[in-house]
Amino acid sequence: MMSIERSRAISIWKNFTKGFLRENPVFVLVLGICPTLGVTTSAVNGLGMGLAATFVLVMSNMVVSLIKSLVPDDVRIPCFIVVIASFVTIVDLVMSAYTPALHAQLGLFLPLIVVNCIILGRAEAYASKNPVWLSVIDGLSMGLGFTFALTLLGGVRELLGSGAVFGHKFITGDGILVFILAPGAFIVLGYMIALVRLVNKTD
Amino acid sequence: MKKKEPTFLNLVTTLFVATFVSSASLGFVYEVTKGPKARAELNKKIEAIRNVVPEFDSSPFDDKTERCQNERCITLYPVKKAGEVVGTAVESWTQQGFGGEIKLMVGFLPDGTIYDVEVLDHKETPGLGDKIDRKKSDFTRQFQNKNPGAFSLTVKKDGGSVDAITAATISSRAFCNAVQRAYDVYRKESSH
């Protein structure tokens, strides 16, 4: 009895931690690359975008898992998209009302969460086949993994590109500007994917 | 639980219910956030006006006037202290930015001298063009207390008086263009 509970706890823990390294949506699954490259010019932007996506991911996974047996297979994709788009719009409205500065920074990328492959991917591959609470954990895991990746990417680009950590500059003048621009995003992401693969291999 | 049969009626009802519930909840959230959203935008504008003109005690929205051309408008907010006009904030724009539109709030003293300039909205490159924002660099400071009558609002490269941002000449030119537009409208208004 005890061991069953323990193995269950372990599998929940594994389910939760998979998003950080083993199945990290950015570094391993390489999903949602458009917002990843676009918004990660600073750590704060990455964090904000990640948390917004996490909220959408958790809520949509929950709702998709709840309605999975009510929705016939033929119309499941449109239904999932409607669910996801609703949550994205809610996040967009709430952020524009209560955090206008961050909303202005994330700009176009916020509504683009709708087409973020991670969210529909998890709805289709996980939430539509698993019970509600497991889907919520999956959403949380993937979302926080996404946030972790974006913040790390944004942090490194900000550090190299403008010589700052979370907006606090510690050098005068400019950093290595290319890291703030689009090519820098590809370069940093490439090295990070290589690094994460190395870590995953040695595990 | 068994999946629903994919009959025509089932498909239609499912989609209808999904879209209905979603639009109802969106309508609700929209109503709830409408007030705070409008307040946030208003506060941002008042804050910008406060930053570009001398101290005032009137409400800038009472005396605002709009000058429109080709469906684009420039808004003037005259501000008063003890009944006397102490400055005018002009909301201006340009399409010539590196990333498209730039919106500025330019403050003028009654004699046409620029008091200060603040960027309201821009899509310039982070680390380069975004230095037009005064939080990022001292670029806007060179416009303070300059009268565009004597201070030519073009970058030095083009024979003007403005020190452009290194590696962001396009953004600097666009900034000057928006300030010039604000000045032109302000001149025309105040000469009446």
Please list the rounded mean pLDDT of every run of 10 residues in chain A (203 residues). 76 84 85 84 86 92 90 88 92 88 77 84 89 92 93 91 80 80 90 91 78
CA distance B1 to B166: 65
Amino acid A25: pLDDT: 86
Amino acid B21: pLDDT: 93
List the structure tokens of A172. Answer: 């005068």
Distance of CA A40 to the CA centre of its chain: 12
List the structure tokens of B62. Answer: 């009472």
Please report, for chain B, the start and end positions of each structural domain, with discontinuous segments joined by +. 51-190
Contact B33 A93 (CB under 8 A): yes
Burial of B105 (0-12, 13-18, 19+ CB in 10 A): buried
Query: 């973020």: which residue's tokens?
Result: A116
**Degrees, nearest 5: CA angle A123-A124-A129:** 90
CA distances from B1 to A65, A69, A123, A128, B55 (A): 13, 6, 19, 13, 69
Amino acid A2: pLDDT: 58
* Candidate from B18, B121, B127 with C-beta closest to A162: B127
Amino acid B96: pLDDT: 92
Contact B22 A82 (CB under 8 A): yes
CA distance B139 to B179: 13
Closest C-alpha among B147, B133, B146, B163 to residue B51? B133
Tell whether B120 is within 8 A of chain A (Cβ): no
Residue B16 in this model has a pLDDT that exceeds 90 = yes
**Degrees, nearest 5: CA angle B51-A104-A176:** 90
Burial of B149 (0-12, 13-18, 19+ CB in 10 A): exposed
Chain A interface, mutation test: which of B9, B19, B22, B46, most A Cβ atoms within 10 Å? B22
Contact B29 A70 (CB under 8 A): no
Query: 């200060």: which residue's tokens?
Result: B116
CA distances from A201 to A48, A142, A194, B10, B20 (A): 30, 20, 11, 48, 48
Residue B2 in this model has a pLDDT that exceeds 60 = no
Contact A72 B37 (CB under 8 A): no
List the structure tokens of B36. Answer: 């705070």
Distance of CA A7 to the CA centre of its chain: 28
Minimal-distance CA residue of chain A relative to B120: A104
* Candidate from A79, A100, A177 with C-beta closest to B40: A100
**Degrees, nearest 5: CA angle A165-A166-A168:** 65
Q: What residues of chain A, 169 to 188, have a C-beta less than 8 Å from chain B?
A: 174-175, 177, 180-181
CA distance A139 to A129: 13
* Candidate from A41, A86, A180 with C-beta closest to B25: A86
Minimal-distance CA residue of chain B relative to A86: B22
Position with higher pLDDT, A34 vs B16: B16
Tell whether B83 is within 8 A of chain A (Cβ): no
Residue B26 in this model has a pLDDT that exceeds 80 = yes
Q: What residues of chain B, 43 to 62, have a C-beta less than 8 Å from chain A?
A: 44
- The dihedral sign for the CA sequence B132, B133, B138, B142: positive
CA distance A37 to A180: 10
* DSSP per residue, A128-192: TTS-HHHHHHHHHHHHHHHHHHHHHHHHHHHHHHHSEETTEE-SSS---GGGTSHHHHHHHHHHH
Tell whether B30 is within 8 A of chain A (Cβ): yes
Chain B interface, mutation test: which of A41, A55, A70, most B Cβ atoms within 10 Å? A70
Amino acid A1: pLDDT: 53
* DSSP per residue, chain B: -PPPP--HHHHHHHHHHHHHHHHHHHHHHHHHHHHHHHHHHHHHHHHHHHHHS----S-TTTS-EEEEETTEEEEEEEEEETTEEEEEEEEEEEEEETTEEEEEEEEE-TTS-EEEEEEEE--PPTTTGGGGSTTT-SGGGGGTT--TTTS--SBGGGTSSB-PPTT-HHHHHHHHHHHHHHHHHHHHHHT-
Q: What is the ipTM score, two decimals?
A: 0.73
Task: Say if residues A124 and A142 touch (Cβ distance below 8 Å).
Answer: no
Q: Count the neighbouring beta carbons within 10 Å of the beta carbon of residue B40.
A: 18
If you average pLDDT over residues B140-167, what whole number do you get? 89
Closest approach of A176 to chain B, Cα-based (Å): 10
Query: 């519930």: which residue's tokens?
Result: B21
Chain B interface, mutation test: which of A40, A69, A71, A181, most B Cβ atoms within 10 Å? A71
Task: Say if residues A79 and B15 touch (Cβ distance below 8 Å).
Answer: yes
Judging contacts by C-beta atoms under 8 Å, the chain A residues touching residue B123 are: 107
If you average pLDDT over residues B160-184, what whole number do you get? 91
Strand partners, B119: B104
